[in-house]
A and B are shown apart, each in its own frame.
Chain A
Amino acid sequence: MLQHVHEKHGLQLMIGLLIGVVFGFLLQKGGVTQYDIIIGQLLLEDFTVVKIMVTAITVGKLGVYLMTHLGLAALHPKPGSFGTSVIGGLIFGIGFGLLGYCPGTIAGAVGQGSLDALFGGVVGIIIGMTLFAALYPRLEKSILHVGDFGERTIPQLLKVNPWFVIIPTAAVLSMALFIIETYW
């Protein structure tokens, strides 16, 4: 691991910026900074979003797990529970369907000139987050830890070697893309 690089705060901010530039460039070239493409996915008319996500997940997991085996990277799975992932996820989806952007693609939409993103969506997201920050102490005590499973990964849950999950899911997801590409 490049610990000496990870510890340099100023350098890390520059790396973050550069990774963001490439990420934004790719999102825009992929078309997913457009409301039309995202809503097309949610209406099951256009599978661009799924094609990009599934390809990125497949390529990403092969490389990232290989790097962890070589000692070049460490995993940072997010903690979660049924209370966070399911309820939060369902609330997020309502916004996803109404807004037609998500936090990453809305930043890209702002860059390409979408004014509904800049003056509508971004304002809404910031309002929503201040509401969540206000509700947080109450939610933390009640719903957020219901069905807690911590930072677990699927291989840890199944108690198997990660490659027994990586290879079959890569195969299934590639097959799904092939079917979408051929028949949809």
Chain B
Amino acid sequence: MEWLMAARWSPYAVGIGIGILSWGAFFLSDKPIGVSTAFARTAGMVERFFLGPRVLEKRYYKLFPPVIDWEWMLVVGIIIGSLLSALWGNTFHLQWVPDRWSEAMGSSPFPRWIGAVAGGIFIGIGSRWAGGCTSGHGISGTLQLAVSSWLAVICFFISGIATATLVYGIFP
């Protein structure tokens, strides 16, 4: 079982694993693997918690009701699976500022926190605007050869590369 304890696996082994896992999702659940809808449902749950049941009247939450479904359980599973992998591979550690950020922009947690919240807001708006994220469009949609997904994933990377280059070009 030494391979379970390895800190990293070959990206090709991981890619083959995810590809086969996607067969399983189609076969067993008739669903493509996707993540961002579960976050949208969670956003609805949070809004309902603070503002009460009237938020359920919003058009978007009628389309994506804030309930626990297959994708929501998938996201819970991702957290558990990653935790297991990190514990067995001895890579679990609590960290506020990633190394690469720290090298370029300093080790103070506050700027990183601001960057992460701001980035999250764009991801939240963009993934629902595009109707999917790097999982639902980037892997599951592209493997089905969906036009919407190929177009979206190309835009994710064009804009992601431009933003990262700008952030690392200007700030350090």
Contacts and interface: CB of A to CB of B under 8 A. Distances in A.
Interface of A: 1-2, 5-6, 12-36, 39-40, 42-44, 48, 51-64, 67, 72-82, 84-100, 102-117, 119-137, 139-140, 144, 149, 151-155, 157, 162, 165-166, 169
Contacts of A19: 21, 24-25, 28-29, 33, 74, 77
A51 B19 CA distance: 12
A103 B100 contact: no
A50 B61 CA distance: 33
B152 A89 contact: yes
A96 B74 contact: no
Classify the secondary structure of A's interface with B. Answer: helix
Contacts, number: 534
Contact of A123 (B15, B31, B117): B117
Most chain B CB atoms below 10 A, which of A56, A59, A99: A56
A98 B144 contact: no
Contacts of A53: 15, 134, 138-139
Given A73-B30, A89-B154, A121 B120 contact: yes
Given A2-B27, A88-B129, A113-B95, A124 B118 contact: yes
A116 B116 contact: yes
Nearest to B58: A133
A149 B164 contact: no
B42 A126 contact: yes
Nearest to B163: A97
Most chain B CB atoms below 10 A, which of A27, A29, A169: A29
- Shortest 7 CB-CB distances between A and B: which pairs? A124-B120, A20-B77, A128-B124, A93-B159, A80-B148, A55-B15, A59-B19
Given A6-B30, A103-B123, A151-B146, A133 B40 contact: yes
A116 B113 contact: yes
B139 A57 contact: yes
Contact of B132 (A52, A78, A144, A149): A78
A147 to B, nearest CB: 10
Interface in B34-76: 35-36, 39-40, 42-44, 46-47, 58-61, 68-76
